[in-house]
Structure 1
């Protein structure tokens, strides 16, 4: 149960680019790679250990062998042997489609899946880059539907300019899109259920328009204007700074210029570190692994301590 690194699962996307290679060193071989899935047990896309004696073992196999040791007793009680979150890096060379995700209740009913609450940490942004998050006013279902018919949806949406370090929390039902020129880290519930409502009339490599989920989205959208998405958080050096604490995950920001020891004896959860700057050696009771910007490591729940050895690093720490 040493700290585990995993092979990235790379995804070509119509809107992808090359920043995952240029900025994060991912082994991509084309110009349209949009996502690097870092930790996943989504069917067909299960992460595989890349380091140590268990190299080649899938994350699901690790969990199945000893669920409580990997996940934590309380996590197993809630989710069984399902890994409850999905970790990604995303590069948007072009605007992503405008979309939203259903809540747990609707996703279970329609797709036998969890909903998809997520958060974004901006790692890099071109000048003038922005996100779409929510509406710019309260709208009715009828107004929204009319805007799709007359091609005026963009007039109803809220745009947020972004820079490195900005963080956003995206509730289920909130309409959103990552804008061109943004590289970010994403933490989300384990779900791949997305309702795409507008795609700028783009066509795929075969000349086809991508599927829209207009009718499904109508009952899933939150039509109220809410300023609940921008995450303010402290940025004190050499300590743990709370960012997000929701029912699905907890995320902290850690920026270090020296070593840090974390006592996690009472933490009944696995711990994930996403490196968003610099590099660090992550040690637990059973071994160590070094990660640098753009890499992710999983520390099992049966660890009592985590020692972070570095002279300069920025981390997102994720637990349940």
Structure 2
């Protein structure tokens, strides 16, 4: 096995923009606002197909079917079977992202027949006026919220936060969230799910119609007491390593995420299970078993379990793993 690079699955969104092209070096259609790039996926909404090496053209789901333990790792097979547990994306939010909420595993598996959606956002870039909705204001109960929704009155409901480049937010299921002002470019690590319950869409019209809302399901799953903490780059502990530094962004039930700043030559630890490198800035090479794989800003690499990786260059990487 070797580091796998997949063809990007681009998704047009009403709130999408052009930063995939201007910041992440992606080729996107000029006449479309692309909001999502699915980088590593076994979800039917956007399957990943290899574009490098001898496995080129094969789907990740096919490779897992043929070499599941070698690709995923024995621990993943024991916990999830052959169902791939993660979905890695880039998001370009150039207009308001609808106010939404995601279900937890128990609710989603029972009602939607797929995983719940725990997700994390790492801010790659943000405008100076970028503001997000993260949770509800203290004192907003289910009864108050339901009444506000019915009236279409969202004054004094949402917890509003400002964000900047380098911020990290873990968004647990049940957290009401969205964007309010400015633009933001995100690297998202999430459970393998595409279930979103839309609460408010700012009365936007798409093809002459308002988009569907999912109020009843949203009320079922909202956690009215949760407000995510924002991890700031300047406050995070830096772990000095040979060839770079590491920040431990999250240790969670569904995924772990580390941020690496590498300047020189860095030998990553050998993970028993798969991991994903999202290249956020800079450029360099991944050295594996005598072969070199070019890595630059905007790239994503899937690293099968137990592969030894040496990274060289001046490069910023987000590492997602279980």
Please give the TM-score of this superposition, normalised by the length of structure 2: 0.94
Deviations 1:259-299 (A, max 9, x none): 101231xx321011101110121123374422211110011
Pair 1:52 & 2:56 matched: no
Q: Which residue of 2 aligns with 1:306?
A: 309
Q: Retained in 1: the 8 A contact 2:104–2:174?
A: yes
Answer yes or no: is 1:26 the counterpart of 2:26.
yes
Q: 1:285 to 1:175 in 2, by over 3 A?
A: same
Gap change, CA 1:292 and 1:127, over 3 Å in 2: same
Equivalence for 2:13: 13
Question: Is the partner of 1:133 in helix, strand or coil?
Answer: strand
Q: 1:302: Cα distance to partner? A: 3.2
Q: 1:154, CA displacement in angstroms?
A: 4.6
> 1:216 aligns to what SS in structure 2?
helix
Q: Pick from 279, 284, 294 the counterpart of residue 283 of structure 2.
A: 279
Gap regions ≥5 residues in structure 2: none
Q: Secondary structure at the match of 1:20?
A: helix
Measured against aligned partners, the alpha-carbon deviations of 1:226-276 in whole angstroms (never above 9, x if no partner) come to 3x4323532456133211110111100100111101231xx3210111011
The answer (yes or no) to whether the contact 1:3–1:297 under 8 Å persists in 2 is yes
Structure 2 counterpart of 1:138 = 139
TM-score, normalization by structure 1: 0.94
Distance 1:28 1:235 in 2: 35
Distance 1:138 1:290, change over 3 A: farther
2:245 to 231, 239, 245: 239
Give, in angstroms, the shift of residue 153 of structure 1: 2.2
The number of residue pairs the alignment matches comes to: 314
Contact (CA 8 Å) 1:240, 1:252: kept in 2 or not?
yes
Q: Tell me the distance in 1 between the aligned counterparts of 2:45 and 2:117.
A: 18
Residue matched to 1:189: 191
Look up the match of 1:200: 202
Three-state SS of the structure 2 residue aligned to 1:316 is strand
Q: How does 1:219-258 map to 2 (within 5 A)?
A: 219-226=220-227, 228-231=228-231, 233-236=236-239, 238-258=244-264
Give RMSD over aligned pairs.
Answer: 1.4
Moved more, 242-251 or 129-138: 129-138
Runs of 4+ in 1 over 3 A off after TM superposition: 285-288
Distance 1:139 1:44, change over 3 A: closer
Q: Distance in 2 between matches of 1:288 and 1:212?
A: 48
